[in-house]
Structure 1
Amino acid sequence: MIQIAVFSDIHGNLPALEVVLQDIDQRGITQKFCLGDLVDFAPWGNEVIDKIRKNHIPCILGNHDERIAFDLPVIPLSKHSEEETIARFEAIEHSRKSITDENKSFLAELPFHIKLNYKTGGRHWNIQLVHSSLKSNETYLYEYEADEVFNEMLKDSDSDVILMGHTHISFKKKIGEKWAINTGSVGRSKEENRLASYVILTLNEKEVVPEIIQLEYPLETVAKSIEASGIPNYYASFLRNEKAVNF
């Protein structure tokens, strides 16, 4: 049996990341992977990057990482309210100014996706890690998508399991004998409970067993830290579940 832990979308929320990593370590899982979006919306972007680097956790490039690494423009999204649009611009500008040049260089060198192959007994398992899809890290895919959408991704990547983040909404969807899984978000969950979320995959010779883990963390401490920073208070209210989620 092999176990791997996969998490995504930390968004500068160091306390949430620390809770997730502690839980993974307590379970004795040594194989850890991150699906990107280390920065924006909470005050510890540099500290999150430093922890990922210090722990040698393989990580892929999220859309927020890419924007900060390459100084890309912010494109307004139609799903966002005017309030969120203004807050989003201000929060990303805060990251542009605060993320160190060394950490921007680290983000710029992250791979776009990672393909894993594990052997258990006589069986090989192919596991595809993406931020949101194989071709883009801006694609929003939810559990209600038609099976054909995920089947195509599984076929194109020649994988048994495809793991993604980006939407901040966790799910596990079995398609035949294969899986499409969203890890949810460590640091900025859009689920009602606002818990830090990650996925454990257990691999044995017969099957892959996914489990979504959701953990409490000191959310109010994070919210107050956001309010004390240069990041808009919108994101503190969001964590407290005082703001509506736009899918």
Structure 2
Amino acid sequence: MNRIAIFSDVHGNLPALQTVLKDITSKAVDQVYCLGDLVDFAPWNNEVIATIRDLRIPCLMGNHDERIAYNYDVIPLSKHSAEETTARIAAIHHTKQTIQDVHKTYLAHLPHQIRLTFDIKGRKTNILLVHGSTNSNQEYIYENHPQEDICHMMDQHQADVLIMGHTHISYVRRIPVAAGMPDRLVINCGAVGRSKEGSSLATYLLLNIDDEGIGAELIKLDYPVAATVAGILESAIPDFYAKFLMGAMV
């Protein structure tokens, strides 16, 4: 059996990352992958990147990583309030001012996709890892995304399993194929550092792959949120992000 851990969207939250990595270690996984967005919104961007690099965890380029790596402008999003837009611009500016050159270079060289292939019952099964979607690291794929579009993306890339992050909302979705064939799996592994699921839990995905198929389990963990809140409040990052986490703690 192969056991694979996949996580995403750390967003500078070192206490959350450390909690997830400790849990992953306790499960004796064979491989670990990160789907990107290592930076922004909490003060430990350099420490998070250094941890991922030191552990040699293969990592994708999230949209926040790309913005920091190439110093792209912040484009306001219509879904954000004026308060969040102002906070978002300030938080990203803080990252740009504090990121170490060596880590900025690291982000610039991250790939946009990782492809894994396993032999299950004599059949090649392809798992595709992306940050947002196969089209862009900025596209949001929620659980109710049109099935036709999902299948088109998976057909294009010959993927049996599509795994992503970006939305900060985890789910496991099964799409039936033909009789006698395993369902396609579309999975969002959630967020480590800034969950949008109404709680302060850090989430990651555990895949168990054996001759019977692929089992997907979403692991949700408590972490020292108070430490992250304190770190934000003591930094130049807007208090908006501390209040967000404190709201999730209630």
Deviates more, 1:233-242 or 1:222-231: 233-242
- How big is the shift at 1:193? 1.6
Structure 2 residue runs without a partner (length 5+) = 177-182
Instruction: Classify 1:29/1:242 alpha carbon distance in 2 versus 1 (closer, same or farther; 3 Å).
Output: closer
Q: What aligned pairs does 1:216-231 form with structure 2 within 5 A after superposition? A: 216-231=222-237
Which residue in 2 is equivalent to 1:135? Answer: 135
8 Å contact 2:120–2:213 — kept in the other structure? no
8 Å contact 1:11–1:41 — kept in the other structure? yes
Is 1:185 the equivalent of 2:198? Answer: no
Distance 1:37 1:78 in 2: 20
Distance 2:215 2:30 in 1: 17
8 Å contact 2:189–2:204 — kept in the other structure? yes
AA in 1 matched with 2:244? F
AA in 2 matched with 1:187? G
8 Å contact 2:142–2:167 — kept in the other structure? yes
Distance 1:221 1:46 in 2: 17
Q: TM-score, with normalisation over the residues of structure 1? A: 0.96
Which residue in 2 is equivalent to 1:94? Answer: 94
Distance 2:88 2:228 in 1: 18
AA in 2 matched with 1:239? L
Which residue in 2 is equivalent to 1:30? Answer: 30
Percent of pairs identical after alignment? 50
Which residue in 1 is equivalent to 2:164? Answer: 164
SS in 1 for 2:97: helix
RMSD (Å), alpha carbons: 1.2
SS in 2 for 1:240: helix
Instruction: Classify 1:242/1:169 alpha carbon distance in 2 versus 1 (closer, same or farther; 3 Å).
Output: closer
Structure 1 residue runs without a partner (length 5+) = none
Distance 1:121 1:142 in 2: 31
- How big is the shift at 1:138? 0.7
Instruction: Classify 1:45/1:199 alpha carbon distance in 2 versus 1 (closer, same or farther; 3 Å).
Output: same
- How big is the shift at 1:180? 0.4
- How big is the shift at 1:30? 2.8
- How big is the shift at 1:124? 2.5
Dislocated runs of 4+, deviation >6 Å:
none
Q: What aligned pairs does 1:67-216 form with structure 2 within 5 A after superposition? A: 67-120=67-120, 122-176=122-176, 177-216=183-222
